[in-house]
Amino acid sequence: MCSAWALSCECIRCLNGTEVTLTQIKRQPNPKNCGEAKVIPLTLNSLKVACSQCNLQELCLPLGLSETELGRVDTLVGARRKVKRGQHLYRAGDPFEAIYAVKTGFFKTDVLLEDGRDQVTGFQMAGELLGMDGISVEAHTCNAVALEDSEVCLIPYEQLEELSSEIRTLQRHFHKVMSREIVRDHGVMMLLGTMRAEERLAAFLLNLSQRFMARGYSSAEFHLRMTREEIGSYLGLKLETVSRAFSHFQEAGLIAVQQKHIRILDATALKQLLNRQPI
């Protein structure tokens, strides 16, 4: 699942205690990934500091877990990993070992088409999950590339699966997370299959607006991390079509555009373009 639609998140809670080094996930050497990302082992104290400033809701545990269960889940976060702009978090074909929670930064997922073009399949921001595309075949089916300097938390999937089988509430929680991914994939298919160019761009901007608002940022003013070419690839539109749609929105007073900086002036009018609820 490499869809773009948001998984809002909050932070995994940590227990008080002495500083204990948590298990770092082990990866097989891969020449393609060599030097691309820095893995940082976490301590319990540093994890508590990180969590206090994090908004990773979907990774937050369901209510009602005991302190013992909370402590067991804390140990799932094995390491943090820094990924520089333009570097890969993982590539299609890499072994699937972990789910990644975006702590800071912005990513895109894409696949390589037979004609050599990259097809963008999604954009992920802080508080969202990456890597679930690899669950079914135990290998990643798309690439994940940082659009700016970013940092992720690694959650080893095998350990998550084992713990979920013992804590049923946690299992149901992650089933809901994966179900939402399926629903959002269907939403993207509808966007590409039934909407005109301007409707697609309106839905895209409104979706970003909602996701930024859910993280405490302005819903009306934000910076695009992706290029217009990448937006076009994701929306199934040519670059010229994307540029015309942006220009038309600006001329109509719906948005103000200054390079990659977007200000939504009339969200209601953007919604009316869709003739349906925004995805």
Pair 101, 138: CB distance under 8 Å: no
* Percent of the chain's residues with pLDDT above 90: 48
C-alpha span between 274 and 270 (Å, rounded): 7
Mean pLDDT (whole number) for 8-26: 31
The CA R_g of the chain, rounded to the nearest whole Å, is 19
* Percent of the chain's residues with pLDDT above 70: 73
When mean pLDDT is compared over 8-17, 35-44, 168-177, 262-271, the highest value belongs to 262-271
Classify residue 275 as left (phi > 0), alpha (psi -120 to 50) or beta.
left
73 or 138: whose pLDDT is higher? Answer: 138
Sorted by where each starts, the structural domains of the chain and their CATH numbers stand as 31-184 (2.60.120.10), 196-274 (1.10.10.10)
Mean pLDDT (whole number) for 223-243: 96
Predicted confidence (pLDDT) per residue in 126-171, tens digit: 888 899 999 989 999 999 999 999 999 898 999 888 888 888 877 8
What is the reported pLDDT for 101? 86
Provide the 3-class DSSP secondary structure of residue 246: helix
Beta bridge partners of 2: none
pTM of this structure: 0.75
What is the reported pLDDT for 214? 83
Structure tokens given for 19: 């500083």
